[in-house]
A and B are shown apart, each in its own frame.
Chain A
Amino acid sequence: MSETGTRRLRVHRFKRGDGGAHFDEFVVPAGPRTTVLDALRWIQLHADPSLALRHSCMHASCGTCGVQVDGQEELACVARLGDHRGDPVTVEPLANVPVLTDLVVDMADFFRRFGDRHPVLRASEAVAGAQPPDGLDRFVRLEDCIECGLCLSACPVAATSARYAGPAALSAAQRLLEEPRGADRDDVLAWAGRPEGAWRCHVGMECTRACPADALPAERIMALRRELGGREAGARP
């Protein structure tokens, strides 16, 4: 990171069995390209090695480093400090999932919301004019959704109901209707039509705004509802 100045960071801290949560403040070097993750790793290396956070790929593809920066859900690896005006900039764990420690949330709670099938490999869009090589039926690629939990954290309905399936899981169900990959359409619709399913969404669109992978969760929930509506003659349970 090119160090043209410093910024103040206010970071959520929590250690199990060590009293309640609190915030610690740090001053970190910051240049024009410094990300929130750069700043947090600088704290780990130079100020407080006990700070726990999640990160892996550094390029918004794994989905591990989701946090709230000044109240906005972001992937720390691509969130630039310079895009946040807070002084200090406040960094907190994602909401609507249990916090394990500091900035680390328990993603088991995120994954338990999904239906039984949750394939991550899909047909790839064709680059204009491309044809697959001999022996390959079609190009494949990993799903857009990186299972980061930002949508769930931003969702106002998830904030009031731990049972709500939430945007990521419902989007995955809608993707199965688009591209079944062996899934049974009726099973998917029955799952999505449960009381804690697609009808609980209040269409606040916060999930789509938060999504760092342009996976369009809110639009997919609306598409699910249209499918369910077709099946249930528009009747909302």
Chain B
Amino acid sequence: MAQARYDEHVLIVGGGGTGGALAHDLALRGLRVTLVERGELTSGTTGRHHGLLHSGGRYAVSDRESATECIEENRILRRICPGTLETNDGLFVAVEEEDLAYLEPFVEGCAACGIPTQRLTGAEALRLEPNLNPAVLAAVRVPDATMDGWRMPLRFFATARHNGAEIRTYTAVEGLLVHDHHVSGAALRDHVTGRCGEVRADVVVNATGPWSERVAAMAGVEVPIRPSPGVLVAVRGRLCNMVLNRLHKSGDGDIIVPQRALSVVGTSSWVVDDPDELGVPEDHVERMYAEGAKLVPAVRDTPMRAAWSAARPLIGARSAGDSGRELSRTFKTFDHRETDGVEGFVTITGGKGTTLRAMAEVCADVVCRKLGIDEPCRTRETVLLPHEAYYRAAA
């Protein structure tokens, strides 16, 4: 296991994809890193997402900032995560006449964001995906892919661990150590032993996604986060090999992501106050079936394996609309010295699974600048260890 080259110590709160990618980035730059997670890794939002490695197509018309981030990261993850992605591309499919009106803006939006596209006739789309709605009028191929919401992020944790980062799961933050507007660590409870303790650090990073408002409050600062859940339904059977999206403005139930021997239909979108209490509204499950069947009619008669909810950490004030769809999918780093006059505390939030590495890079730049450390990001080129190396590191 590698040794840190610097004495500076960063404590990351949150073991989702963002925290894992940040631990990896900072460990590569030679810092001492400790990451704490109250449960298992990726047990919050990351593990529960539909598994779509975005090409950016979904945002190409309405949110070009997110779309551009997605295609750049899509290319990087294909390079650094070989063997963990189902790289079968995706289709945006027009199944009703009115979908066709979206085709030109979609192709133009993709071109403007650097997302390669290939136009297909309905017949050509059916040759690729015979289970598609036979009424398909046209389709556009994009470089979507399927990731594994557990194994892909686990490769970041595995590599971070091999580079010296300490990853402590089942360790809850009970409070932050705050004196004179300065955060210097956290009070922890270790659920493996039941014991309490403290960890001190030069910078504490809040990487808790939809929980980031709660953790920020421990330092007396606010971050404008709206936990926005969506319902997903996994049906038994692999109904397609490519990611299938409806060619229209993002809506409910308009994506089918094949994953192993399952097909995941998603999502819906609403907003909640408490990211721990999401529920799975029955009418949302029915909508996933109804909308999913418009893309692939066989969805209607395919038995359900599971229905669940995941909370997106969207950036926006509480006064924003209440569906969550109007909020950008981009991410933001808050250096709380600049926003609130609190030193030693940074929040990274927003974003999505596809952009985890980019979020980490931006946040690690902020952390290093605060610490006066001049080290470049190396995560674009560093191929990650296989996921099971996480466990071999522990041995």
Co-assembled chains A and B: yes
- Chain A residues proximal to chain B, CB less than 8 Å: 1-2, 15-18, 33, 45, 49-64, 77-78, 100-102, 104, 106-108, 110-112, 114, 118-121, 124-134, 136, 139-144, 146-147, 213-214
Q: Is the Cβ of B259 less than 8 Å from the Cβ of A61? A: yes
Pick the residue among A121, A127, A134 that contacts B238 (CB under 8 A). Answer: A127
Besides A15-B194, A100-B170, A107-B391, 11 other CB < 8 A contacts?
A54-B40, A58-B308, A60-B306, A61-B260, A64-B150, A121-B86, A130-B130, A136-B88, A141-B88, A141-B260, A144-B261
Bound-state CA distance A101–B189 (Å) is 14
Given A56-B42, A56-B43, A114-B388; A142-B86 close (CB under 8 Å): yes
Q: Is the Cβ of B306 less than 8 Å from the Cβ of A59? A: yes
Q: Please name the residue on chain A nearest to B42 by beta carbon.
A: A56
Q: Please name the residue on chain A nearest to B191 by beta carbon.
A: A52
Q: Is the Cβ of A59 less than 8 Å from the Cβ of B232? A: yes
Q: Provide the residues of chain A in CB contact with B308, threshold 8 Å.
A: 58-59, 77
Q: Provide the residues of chain B in CB contact with A57, threshold 8 Å.
A: 47-48, 149-150
Bound-state CA distance A145–B240 (Å) is 19
**Is residue B104 within 8 Å, beta carbon to beta carbon, of the partner chain?**
no
Q: Provide the residues of chain B in CB contact with A15, threshold 8 Å.
A: 191-194
Q: Is the Cβ of B40 less than 8 Å from the Cβ of A55? A: yes
5 intermolecular pairs with C-beta atoms under 8 Å apart: A15-B194, A55-B40, A62-B42, A120-B148, A124-B241
Q: Is the Cβ of B39 less than 8 Å from the Cβ of A55? A: yes
Q: Provide the residues of chain A in CB contact with B48, threshold 8 Å.
A: 56-58
Q: Provide the residues of chain B in CB contact with A114, threshold 8 Å.
A: 388
Q: Is the Cβ of A111 less than 8 Å from the Cβ of B40? A: no
Whole-angstrom distance between the Cβ of B150 and the nearest chain A Cβ: 4
Q: Provide the residues of chain B in CB contact with A2, threshold 8 Å.
A: 282
**Is residue B1 within 8 Å, beta carbon to beta carbon, of the partner chain?**
no
The 0/1 profile, CB within 8 Å of A marked 1, for residues 297-313 of chain B is 00000000111101000
Q: Please name the residue on chain B nearest to A77 by beta carbon.
A: B306
**Is residue B60 within 8 Å, beta carbon to beta carbon, of the partner chain?**
no
Bound-state CA distance A23–B310 (Å) is 30
Q: Is the Cβ of A108 less than 8 Å from the Cβ of B395? A: yes
Q: Which chain B residues numbered 247 to 276 have a C-beta less than 8 Å away from chain A?
A: 258-262, 264, 276
Q: Provide the residues of chain B in CB contact with A108, threshold 8 Å.
A: 391-392, 394-395
Q: Is the Cβ of B241 less than 8 Å from the Cβ of A141? A: yes
Secondary structure at chain A's binding surface: helix, strand, loop or mixed?
loop
Q: Provide the residues of chain B in CB contact with A111, threshold 8 Å.
A: 388, 391-392
Q: Please name the residue on chain A nearest to B87 by beta carbon.
A: A140
**Is residue B226 within 8 Å, beta carbon to beta carbon, of the partner chain?**
no
Bound-state CA distance A49–B262 (Å) is 32
Bound-state CA distance A121–B86 (Å) is 7
**Is residue B204 within 8 Å, beta carbon to beta carbon, of the partner chain?**
no
Q: Provide the residues of chain A in CB contact with B85, threshold 8 Å.
A: 121
Q: Which chain B residues numbered 109 to 151 have a C-beta less than 8 Å away from chain A?
A: 118, 127-131, 141, 146, 148-151
Q: Is the Cβ of A56 less than 8 Å from the Cβ of B150? A: yes
Whole-angstrom distance between the Cβ of B144 and the nearest chain A Cβ: 12
Bound-state CA distance A147–B386 (Å) is 14
The 0/1 profile, CB within 8 Å of A marked 1, for residues 39-75 of chain B is 1111100111001000000000000000000000000
Q: Provide the residues of chain A in CB contact with B40, threshold 8 Å.
A: 53-56, 64, 104
Q: Provide the residues of chain B in CB contact with A45, threshold 8 Å.
A: 276-277
Bound-state CA distance A132–B242 (Å) is 9
**Is residue B333 within 8 Å, beta carbon to beta carbon, of the partner chain?**
no
Whole-angstrom distance between the Cβ of A134 and the nearest chain B Cβ: 8
Q: Is the Cβ of A141 less than 8 Å from the Cβ of B388? A: no
Q: Provide the residues of chain A in CB contact with B84, threshold 8 Å.
A: 120-121, 142
Q: Is the Cβ of B149 less than 8 Å from the Cβ of A56? A: yes
Bound-state CA distance A221–B305 (Å) is 27
Q: Provide the residues of chain A in CB contact with B127, threshold 8 Å.
A: 129-131
Q: Is the Cβ of A112 less than 8 Å from the Cβ of B395? A: yes
Q: Is the Cβ of B86 less than 8 Å from the Cβ of A140? A: yes
Given A59-B232, A62-B47, A141-B258; A125-B170 close (CB under 8 Å): no
